[in-house]
């Protein structure tokens, strides 16, 4: 009898054990299902300051501010359609004579200008105002630069004060016609201008680092002779670069500047030139915003060579200057 009951008892015992373990198995299965369904959220990486400023510079270069001639500005003033005119000249020179309606501010106060106005900026020769134009343009101001500055508005030396003069501002330094190719690549500078993570704050902080910085043709020629570590950039057209360029210069257009930043050494000075200094000043302002130690060649290729085949005949001509009314 015992032999017959034992298998039955064993089977019943196993069934009871299995039934008792079912809730535990279901609970474990449920926990695994919950773990599988739980979504892991990875916070987005904060964008670096450099990348934010680079994007702002790239956006500006797609629709750059231009230059307004003195004759066009004068016509708008006569017609009562003048923009908000800003003089960046010294307070003393502003008092000697300024364009009618112009206000006088320092370069460092650019960000205090009204945002809803069409702005025209001018200086002595158009170069410092080109720095300002790039800064304001990146900050989304509607801005233009007065071509050749006060030099184009007045023929009175007491009013224009300073201008390009071939007798004193132009040299005849060595030129190259063989193209130079940038082969080395570099990391980008690191920006740390603000603790804010807001893109507008970061862009404005970078804009405030800009200041008009120049190098003369004589000084650049000396640096070349001494084989100093530097980057020289021509932003002139490829044809004019081929006709003659500063020795060692590479040709990078303004429109492709952002795409070629990895060719610029962030640990060495950068010297940029164009025809008269206007476009180079804009390029230098943008490079400074991006953390480069950049300088504009004063008066551009017009200060380097008197050969019109090289300077493209675009130098300021005093005979074209107007003699418009000024206010004191």
Strand partners, 271: 232, 295
Last-in-domain residue among 165, 191, 206: 165
What gap in Å lies between CA 83 and CA 115, rounded to an integer? 13
**80 occurs within a structural domain:** yes
The candidate with the shortest Cα–Cα distance to 235, out of 290, 175, 302, 281, is 281
Which among 123, 274, 302, 315 is annotated as catalytic? 274
Q: What share of the chain is helix, strand, coil (3-state, %, to 5)?
A: 45, 10, 40
> What are φ and ψ of residue 62, in 5° steps?
-75, -15
**198 occurs within a structural domain:** yes
| Residues 307, 178 share a domain | yes
- The reply to whether 274 belongs to the active site is yes
**7 occurs within a structural domain:** no
| Residues 194, 154 share a domain | no
Predicted structure pTM score: 0.86
> What are φ and ψ of residue 303, in 5° steps?
-90, -15
DSSP per-residue string spanning 111-162: GGS-TTSEEEEE-SSSHHHHHHHHHHHHTT-EEEEETTTHHHH---HHHH--
For the record, the structure tokens of 287 come out as 């490079």
pLDDT at 78: 97
Long-range CB contacts (< 8 A, 24+ apart) of 172-175?
A: 172/305, 172/306, 172/307, 173/217, 173/221, 173/246, 173/304, 173/305, 174/221, 174/247, 175/244, 175/245, 175/246, 175/247, 175/304, 175/305, 175/307, 175/310
| Residues 182, 137 share a domain | no
**42 occurs within a structural domain:** no
| Residues 139, 217 share a domain | no
**What are the Cα distances from residue 262, in Å, to 152, 166, 256, 266, 287?**
38, 36, 12, 9, 12
Last-in-domain residue among 165, 196, 224: 165
**150 occurs within a structural domain:** yes
Domain holding 160, by residue range, is: 49-165
| Residues 246, 203 share a domain | yes
| Residues 172, 141 share a domain | no
Query: Do 117 and 83 meet the contact criterion of CB atoms below 8 Å apart?
Result: yes
**148 occurs within a structural domain:** yes
For the record, the structure tokens of 6 come out as 């034992």
pLDDT at 47: 78
**44 occurs within a structural domain:** no
pLDDT at 99: 98
| Residues 236, 154 share a domain | no
Which domain CATH number covers 239?
3.40.250.10
pLDDT in tens for each of the 328 residues of the chain?
334 444 555 555 555 555 555 554 454 455 444 455 555 444 444 579 999 999 999 999 999 999 999 999 999 999 999 999 999 999 999 999 999 999 999 999 999 999 999 999 999 999 999 999 999 999 999 999 999 999 999 999 999 999 999 999 999 999 999 999 999 999 999 999 999 999 999 999 999 999 999 999 999 999 999 999 999 999 999 999 999 999 999 999 999 999 999 999 999 999 999 999 999 999 999 999 999 999 999 999 999 999 999 999 999 999 999 999 999 9
**293 occurs within a structural domain:** yes
Residue 75 contacts by C-beta under 8 Å, 6 or more apart in sequence? none
| Residues 92, 76 share a domain | yes
Neighbours of 266 (CB within 10 A): 18
| Residues 71, 139 share a domain | yes
How many domains does the chain divide into? Answer: 2
Environment class of 186 (CB within 10 Å of its CB; exposed 0-12, middle 13-18, buried 19+): middle
| Residues 194, 117 share a domain | no
DSSP 260: G
What gap in Å lies between CA 296 and CA 227, rounded to an integer? 19
Ordered strands of the 250-251 beta sheet: 214-215, 294-297, 270-273, 231-234, 250-251
| Residues 189, 216 share a domain | yes
| Residues 282, 177 share a domain | yes
């Amino acid at each position: 009898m015992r032999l017959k009951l034992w298998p039955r008892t064993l089977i019943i015992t196993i069934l009871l054990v299995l039934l008792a373990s079912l809730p535990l198995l279901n609970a474990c299965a449920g926990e695994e299902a919950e773990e599988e369904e739980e979504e892991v959220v990875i916070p987005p990486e904060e964008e670096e300051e450099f990348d934010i400023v680079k994007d702002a510079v790239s956006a500006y270069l797609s629709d750059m501010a231009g230059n307004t001639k003195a004759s066009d500005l004068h016509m708008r003033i006569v017609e009562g359609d003048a923009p908000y005119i800003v003089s960046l000249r010294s307070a003393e020179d502003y008092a000697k004579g300024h364009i009618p309606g112009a206000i006088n501010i320092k370069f460092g106060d650019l960000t205090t200008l009204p945002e809803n106005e069409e702005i025209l900026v001018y200086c002595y020769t158009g170069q410092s105002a080109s720095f300002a134009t790039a800064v304001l343009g990146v900050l989304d101001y509607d801005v233009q630069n007065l071509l050749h500055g006060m030099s184009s508005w007045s023929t009175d030396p007491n009013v224009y004060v300073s201008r390009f003069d071939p007798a004193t501002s132009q040299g005849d330094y060595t030129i190259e016609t063989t193209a130079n190719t940038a082969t080395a690549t570099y990391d980008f500078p690191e920006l740390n201008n603000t603790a804010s993570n807001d893109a507008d704050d970061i862009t404005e902080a970078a804009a405030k680092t800009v200041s008009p910085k120049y190098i003369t043709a004589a000084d650049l020629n000396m640096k070349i002779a001494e084989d100093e570590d530097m980057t020289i950039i021509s932003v002139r057209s490829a044809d004019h670069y081929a006709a003659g360029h500063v020795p060692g210069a590479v040709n990078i257009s303004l429109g492709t500047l952002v795409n070629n930043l990895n060719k610029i050494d962030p640990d060495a000075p950068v010297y940029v030139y164009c025809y008269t200094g206007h476009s180079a000043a804009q390029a230098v302002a943008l490079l400074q915003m991006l953390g480069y130690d950049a300088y504009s060649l004063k008066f551009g290729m017009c200060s380097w060579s008197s050969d019109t085949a090289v300077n493209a005949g675009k130098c300021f001509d005093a005979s074209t200057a107007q003699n418009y009314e000024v206010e004191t």
